[in-house]
Every structure is written in structure tokens, then in C-alpha cells.
Amino acid sequence: MAEQGPIVFCTGGGCTAKLGAGVLSRILEKLPRGEKDPDLLVGYDSRDDAAVYRITEDIALVQTVDFFPPMVDDPYTFGQIAAANALSDIYAMGGTAKTALNIVCFPESMDLNILGKILTGGAEKVEEAEAVLAGGHSIQDADIKYGLSVTGVIHPDQVLANQNCHPGDMLILTKPLGVGIVCTASRMKDVREADYELAVKSMTTLNKYASALAGNYETHACTDVTGFGFLVHLNELLGENCSARIFSDAVPFIPGCPAYVEEFYITAAGQRNRNHMKGKVEFQKESFFMEELLFDPQTSGGLLLSVQKEDAEGLLSEIRDLGLPAAIVGEVTEKEPLKILVE
């Protein structure tokens, strides 16, 4: 049996491993559509977090799958993060997680105790979600990859899909940005322990609790901020009918990020996100740090909620009571030639 040791970092661990948004869009556009099923309420054509399929007048299934290589050294922590990230897609739709299946890629030559710790971390997050771990599938691979396929339920009339923002809505972000930057600094062995711990705490926190609170308010749309970064996910949330102003001074982030960006601890995925948003976003203030932060790929990031203005402060207060550094980070506006203005 191989000697046990920490997980070896992949060059694109966590959600930085995602295909670029532009490349993915071009592939999906070419897929055959077939006849539209009226019970498929949300499919891949709307760039949402999960699929939603109506099975009765009162019940719809919410289905998602997410897996990736490690972005942290500790196997147990990696399992927690990967599971929290996969479960998040259910919560971003406003749903309740019910069952989960493990997805495992693992080298035969590696100590199986490492795999055991990964699966334990994942199983504990599924338990916290009050879902059932029902099985899974594994294959031999050169590199470790782990995640979940998750099924949830929701009432068909309560789906929080993309592209349903209303002008005048306020935008609430429930977790700090910058975990991609921090993980890059960690890979370079140049990260402050306090920043790393904050990143891990953020990535292992389920979006279950913030999502449940959002259901008590007039929330019009929701997504979770992951590998495409804040701005690409916001662009998808807005759809074709709205624009947005972002209050850069209000955006929460992990404290050490400005120093790490100054050292160019940034990701290739962040630059792909920047390229995808060319011509769609404008920064009023000249700040390389803020640009990189808003393009930074997040792993198990927070929810980005489009909430009726009158409800925003109340919802924000309740989310902060959970211990999350949530903030109102922008406002949805009528459609303008420029999609997103960062003030």
C-alpha cells in the first residue's frame, strides 16, 4: 500500500477546473434540442444551476451534478468542500436536497485511506443537508476527482431560476469572494493561515441556510457564484432583459486578497472569465484588485440573490445572523447598452 500523504494539488483544482463559459456556450448551442417537454421547467438552455422537471402539480425534481480535482491538501476537507459545492446547486434553485450519489475518480496506486477520508467529509455534509447518500460510482484515474450527483425537490411555482430579475431589485451576496485567489496563494506556499482558514470555512458552509431564509422574502432570482466568477454568474442571472450596478465598496472579500493579487496570485480561469465578459462590463474606478476579485473563480461560493428592494435589508439582517458576511452589493436596473457597471 502506498504511503499516506496529503493530496497533491492539481493545476486547476476546485471550480477553476471548469471549462470556460465561452467555450461551453459554443458547445451547448450545437446540441440537438429535440421536441420541448413542457414539464422541463429549467434546462441547460438558460444556464441555470440545476435542471428542474415537474412530475406533479405540486412537486418538481431538481437535479444537478458537480465534481472536480482537489484545491486543498487535506482529504477530509476536500470531501466537505466538494459535497457542499454540489449541494449548493439545489439551494440556488430554492430546492431541498433529498438524495446524493458519490462520483469518484481515484488512482489505484494511492492509499485508500485517503479516499475514505474524502468520502467521510462528503458524507457528513450530505447528512448536514438532511439528504440521503444512496450510492455512487467510481473509476480508476490518474488524478483524484470527487463530487456528487444530487436530486432535490421543489414546488414548481417556487423555482428561483436565472433571468427573472426585476429592475429595482437589490443584489445580495452571502459569502465573501476571493477563495480562488487564496487557494492560489496557498499553492505557492505564501498564504496567511487566517486567510486560508476563512476560505475553508466559507467553502465548507452549506448554502442551505441562506436559501431557506430567501424563501421567506420576495426573492425573484438566484444563482451561486462558482467557477465563472461573480461577474459571469451575474451576467447569467440578469438574462437579456436587465442590467446592473455593482457597489464595489460593499463587496465582501477575504482580507488578504489585495496583497495576493499584488503578487499576481491569480488563476487562468479568472482570465477566461475576464475574456468572456469583454464589452459587457465597465469599471468606473481603476482597481486591478477589484477586477481580479470579481473575475476570480469561486469554489462552493455564496448565493447571489435578486431581492425586492423593500425586503433586502430584512433578508440581509437574517443572513448575517447566521454568521455570514453577506452584503447588498448592487442593484438591478432596466436594460441598458452596458450590461454591468461596477461603481
Residue linked to cell 481515484: 106
**pLDDT tens digits, 56-95:** 999 999 999 999 999 999 999 999 999 999 999 999 999 9
| pLDDT band (50, 70, 90) for residue 186 | very high
Paired residues of 219 in beta bridges: 307
* Whole-angstrom distance, CA of residue 319 vs CA of residue 299: 20
Whether pLDDT at 37 is above 50: yes
Least confident of 29-38, 150-159, 179-188, 230-239: 29-38
C-alpha torsion 321→325→330→331, nearest 10: -10
> CA nearest 291: which of 178, 184, 215?
178
At residue 202, the 3 state secondary structure works out as: helix
- pTM, rounded to two decimals: 0.91
* Whole-angstrom distance, CA of residue 246 vs CA of residue 31: 34
Query: Helical H runs in 46-111?
Result: 75-92
* Whole-angstrom distance, CA of residue 86 vs CA of residue 103: 11
Residue range 233-258: average pLDDT?
A: 96
Confidence (pLDDT) at 3: 39
Does residue 48 contact residue 161 with C-beta atoms inside 8 Å?
Answer: yes
Domains contained in the chain, CATH given: 14-158 (3.30.1330.10), 170-342 (3.90.650.10)
Confidence (pLDDT) at 22: 60
In terms of DSSP bridges, do strands 96-106 and 132-140 run parallel, antiparallel, or are they unpaired? Answer: parallel
CB atoms within 10 A of CB 59: 12
C-alpha torsion 17→18→20→25, nearest 10: 160
Whether pLDDT at 30 is above 90: no
Q: How much of the chain exceeds pLDDT 90, in percent?
A: 83
Residue range 135-155: average pLDDT?
A: 96
Whether pLDDT at 13 is above 90: no
Confidence (pLDDT) at 5: 46
> CA nearest 297: which of 328, 261, 269?
269
Confidence (pLDDT) at 21: 58
| Nearest-5° Cα angle at 115, 121 to 179 | 50
* Whole-angstrom distance, CA of residue 156 vs CA of residue 263: 47
At residue 306, the 3 state secondary structure works out as: strand
**pLDDT tens digits, 269-294:** 899 999 999 999 999 998 999 999 99
Whether pLDDT at 42 is above 60: yes
Whether pLDDT at 10 is above 60: no
| pLDDT band (50, 70, 90) for residue 53 | very high
C-alpha cell at 199: 476560505
Confidence (pLDDT) at 35: 81
Average pLDDT score, the chain: 92
Whether pLDDT at 120 is above 80: yes
C-alpha cell at 1: 500500500
Whether pLDDT at 2 is above 60: no
C-alpha cell at 315: 433578508
* Whole-angstrom distance, CA of residue 297 vs CA of residue 290: 13
15 catalytic, yes or no?
yes
Helix 288-295 vs helix 229-238: angle between axes, to the nearest 10 degrees?
60
Whether pLDDT at 188 is above 60: yes
Question: Choosing from 15, 183, 222, 242, which is the catalytic residue?
Answer: 15
Cα 100 to the center of its chain, rounded Å: 18
What residue type is assigned to position 171 of the chain?
L
Whether pLDDT at 138 is above 50: yes
Does residue 2 contact residue 115 with C-beta atoms inside 8 Å?
Answer: no
Q: What is the DSSP string of 149-169?
A: EEEEEE-GGG---SS---TTP
Whether pLDDT at 1 is above 70: no
* Whole-angstrom distance, CA of residue 229 vs CA of residue 147: 20
